[in-house]
Structure 1
Amino acid sequence: MRKSALLTGLLLGALFTIPLIAIQFLGDQWFGAPFGPYDVFDWLARVLPGDIIVRSIEAMVELIDRFDLGETSQAASQLKKLSALGMFFGGGAVVGTALSVVLRRLNVRLTGYAQVLPGLLAGLAVGMPLVLISRDVNFSATTSPTVSAAWLLGTTLVWGAVLSWSYYRLFPQPAVAPDTAATTASAPATEPAAGPQVYAEQINRREFLVRVGGAAATFTVVGAGVGKLLQERDERQYLKRIRRNRAAAEMMPKDLPNQDDPLEPAPGTRPEYTPLEDHYRIDISLRPPEIDENEYELRIEGLVETPLRLSIDELRENYEPMDQFITLACISNPVGGSLTSTILWTGVSLRDVLADAGLQPSATHIKIMSADRFFETVALDLINEDPRVMLTYDWDGQPLLYRHGFPLRIYIPDLYGMKQPKWIESIEVIDHDEDGYWVERGWDKVARMKATSVVDVAAVDESVVGEEGETLVAIGGIAHAGARGISRVEVRVDDGDWVEAQLREPLSETTWVIWRYDWPFESGRHTFAVRCVEGDGTRQIEDTQGTFPDGASGIHRLTREL
């Protein structure tokens, strides 16, 4: 019977956690309530040891790359969401099992409405931590803290009550049979009552499970289905907003600065300028913060003569705007990966803003705090030496979207994205250095971009005829070395010699370079490799290294049957 209780509890926990997830998802999409599975996942990502997080990131990127699951940032986001749902589902199944085993072992006998009490206690034990976790890590819920807490507690209490009620339906309370009641009453107290036990309620377990399973499935389909429709509606509105802002933008990169360069990219090379909707994004939370622009102020405080409170409009109106075409890359990007993009950034010089605050003599660093609790420290020497360091409020000629850091993010040339906070709320001027969010978790403190080059395509379907009548296949891709420039790209086919490729003029000194090599076609299976040289003659690191702790390195290769 103990084994039966364990399996039944596991089944009930799993069965009712699925609609719990679906209903909370519906609340999230419908009126902005917290979503427990995502909040628990985000909380774990913050409290688990750094080496566990690092191994998880590396395993996820390797999985995406090995099975070609799509663009890395989007695939990683989906995998993290699936992991969050899986963990929450597993936790619900465990709670259901524990409740069933405890009730069976203690032989708790309850009748009527009292049968839901153990489940309410279990729901409370789950709901209260959810409330505290959500308050700590949820930055996207639009409901008030009171409503959010009531939503989480309400859904988990109902879930627990249904668990307990279902347990008592499957394990009815034993009662004494009527024909033995008198005998029992007249028997000496020291003698055990004789006669068979009967159940207060006889029920077919299979029939009951079918019924509750059908009800759970109905709630799941309705909750998940309607929630998904609302999610898809929001996604369509998001893309419409991009198109609408693009059409209304005053400053748009319609004509790229290198449009007159005669070298055309090899057909199939990634776009030289990344569409805003395709720009990669990696966040520490499953859902980005949504900040009200009307209430937003950038706080600049600490070791300054004049603390500042600046709205986005004040940043736009009081400082000279600066535009830069920039290639940004994630430190978790493997060699040849897709966690890198190029777009037009617009903002103001951070050096100018800090000058208005007036730095005290003891100031050496700034600490940047973000709405998602991300933080990073930047040396004032770096800011003073490089006027390109800027507070950015526009991408692609339009205000930052909330998914990409609205209302404000920073750009620091030559550094990976892990050093560049988004959703910036405050800048504190301090007199010492501190480790940033990812540095605390084991990643490199400097995080300087490594030179890298990638073979995007061997355009065999669009071959051309050379001057001597030979068939030429365009091999192409990108090369990037942060803000240090690219002076040379070399290509090798199979075990042949390294041959210099042609370079297209870059969009700016801080973007990637498009390269092309027209290869004399030979049928068969071929491997194309590429390497690059930085602007000062420094060669790309050819030794293979993974992304942790300071970024990947190695030669990228593309093998094709032609």
Structure 2
Amino acid sequence: MTRTGAPTGTYSPAPPPNRPNRRNFLIASGAAATVAAAAGIGGQYLQNKRFSVNTSSVKLGKPAVKAEALPKGAEITDIPGLSSFYTPNSQFYRVDTALVVPQVSPQTWQLRIHGMVDKPMTINFDDLMKRPMFDHDITLTCVSENVGGGYIGNARWQGALLADLLKEAGIQPGATQIVMRDVNGMNLGVATEPVMDGRASLLAVGMNGQPLPQEHGFPVRVVVPGLYGYVSACKWVVDMQLTTFGAFDAYWTQRGWSQQAPIKTESR
């Protein structure tokens, strides 16, 4: 998931002046969480002593569809301060929704698909890894990103096409929203149409040639190109409910942010 800011596009009006913006919300939340964080450090230490997921146990195979090679000149190395085309995993931005990074074992991971579908289904990690894998270069962007800022990154993601799985479940007419939930119950709402329109929306298991790092959603996360992360980049995903925007307001929508959230063009 990525950090969120003002509503985007033409899908919803700007919040009224007295609505606290996302940045102030994060600052206030951070201050309030300081004491909890101190306790959480000790809790995480004890948790890691007791149990730590081995991400290297996941072996990425050769993708059925490889990403295209970068065009000549795409990697610019002669401009001081310009980052590389691919953002290293260790430097890829994070906006966490959990005080302690969830540790989810591939052996116990499952994804449930239900709601407005003809065939509710549950898939486990072994079944997911048997599906055709695709490599795609996808940019993730936080809606609070400023031009030249750090809340944006490119990675070569590997995963199974989410649209193919949803087609097997049989999306019912009128299902305009997919509510995605992580292992802690945090929910994001993404419009069904962009997931199903042919873009490379992935249930990602790999990032830059390596299994997903724990802090980036190991063992499985969602990556949808072209949408800000607060509606599309669900880490540690375990549940997808097909519904409508009228029937359910996801976490950030309840706080006044756009339901659709297409990425605006930026450059420098």
TM range (shorter): 0.7 to 0.9
Residue 447 (str. 1) matches residue 255 (str. 2) = no
The size of the alignment, in residue pairs, is 242
Residue 438 (str. 1) matches residue 265 (str. 2) = no
| TM superposition shift of 1:281 | 0.7
1:64-97 deviations in Å (ceiling 9; x for gaps) = xxxxxxxxxxxxxxx94x75335799xxxxxxxx
Relative distance call for 1:452 and 1:245 in structure 2 (3 A) is farther
Relative distance call for 1:271 and 1:310 in structure 2 (3 A) is same
| TM superposition shift of 1:403 | 0.7
Residue 327 (str. 1) matches residue 139 (str. 2) = yes
| TM superposition shift of 1:360 | 3.1
Relative distance call for 1:88 and 1:302 in structure 2 (3 A) is closer
Aligned twin of 2:6: none
Residue 412 (str. 1) matches residue 218 (str. 2) = no
Match of residue 24, structure 2, among 37, 52, 56: 56
Aligned twin of 2:88: 275
Residue 84 (str. 1) matches residue 33 (str. 2) = yes
Aligned residues of 2:76 and 2:84 also touching (Cα < 8 A): no
| TM superposition shift of 1:56 | 2.5
Three-state SS of the structure 2 residue aligned to 1:306 is coil
| TM superposition shift of 1:323 | 1.1
Three-state SS of the structure 2 residue aligned to 1:327 is strand
Letter in 2 for 1:436: A
| TM superposition shift of 1:340 | 1.0
Aligned equivalents of 1:451, 1:442: Cα separation in 2: 22
Aligned residues of 2:75 and 2:84 also touching (Cα < 8 A): no
Relative distance call for 1:276 and 1:261 in structure 2 (3 A) is same
Three-state SS of the structure 2 residue aligned to 1:314 is helix
| TM superposition shift of 1:425 | 1.0
Match of residue 291, structure 1, among 77, 101, 104: 104
Aligned twin of 1:355: 167
Aligned equivalents of 1:347, 1:272: Cα separation in 2: 20
Aligned equivalents of 1:428, 1:263: Cα separation in 2: 39
Counterparts of 1:298-377 in structure 2, within 5 Å, are 298-317=111-130, 319-377=131-189
Residue 429 (str. 1) matches residue 245 (str. 2) = no
| TM superposition shift of 1:440 | 1.3
Letter in 2 for 1:283: D
| TM superposition shift of 1:372 | 2.9
| TM superposition shift of 1:386 | 2.7
Three-state SS of the structure 1 residue aligned to 2:255 is coil
Relative distance call for 1:345 and 1:270 in structure 2 (3 A) is same
| TM superposition shift of 1:263 | 7.3
Relative distance call for 1:263 and 1:251 in structure 2 (3 A) is same
Structure 1: stretches of 5+ with no match in the other structure? 1-49, 61-78, 90-129, 131-137, 143-226, 455-562
Aligned equivalents of 1:261, 1:363: Cα separation in 2: 42
Letter in 2 for 1:394: G
| TM superposition shift of 1:451 | 1.8
Aligned residues of 1:376 and 1:435 also touching (Cα < 8 A): no
Aligned residues of 1:377 and 1:436 also touching (Cα < 8 A): yes
| TM superposition shift of 1:355 | 1.4
Letter in 2 for 1:381: E
| TM superposition shift of 1:383 | 2.5
Aligned equivalents of 1:350, 1:283: Cα separation in 2: 23
Aligned equivalents of 2:75, 2:21: Cα separation in 1: 43
Higher relative contact order by CA 8 Å / sep ≥ 6: 1 or 2? 2
Aligned equivalents of 1:330, 1:343: Cα separation in 2: 14
Structure 2: stretches of 5+ with no match in the other structure? 1-17
TM-score normalised to structure 1 length: 0.38
| TM superposition shift of 1:418 | 0.9
Aligned residues of 2:191 and 2:259 also touching (Cα < 8 A): no
Asked which structure has the greater CA Rg, the reply is: 1
Aligned residues of 1:408 and 1:423 also touching (Cα < 8 A): yes
| TM superposition shift of 1:332 | 1.8
Aligned residues of 1:312 and 1:393 also touching (Cα < 8 A): no
Relative distance call for 1:360 and 1:451 in structure 2 (3 A) is closer
Aligned residues of 2:189 and 2:259 also touching (Cα < 8 A): no
Three-state SS of the structure 2 residue aligned to 1:356 is helix
1:296-315 deviations in Å (ceiling 9; x for gaps) = 11001122222211112211
Aligned equivalents of 2:253, 2:74: Cα separation in 1: 43
Aligned twin of 1:115: none
Three-state SS of the structure 2 residue aligned to 1:440 is helix
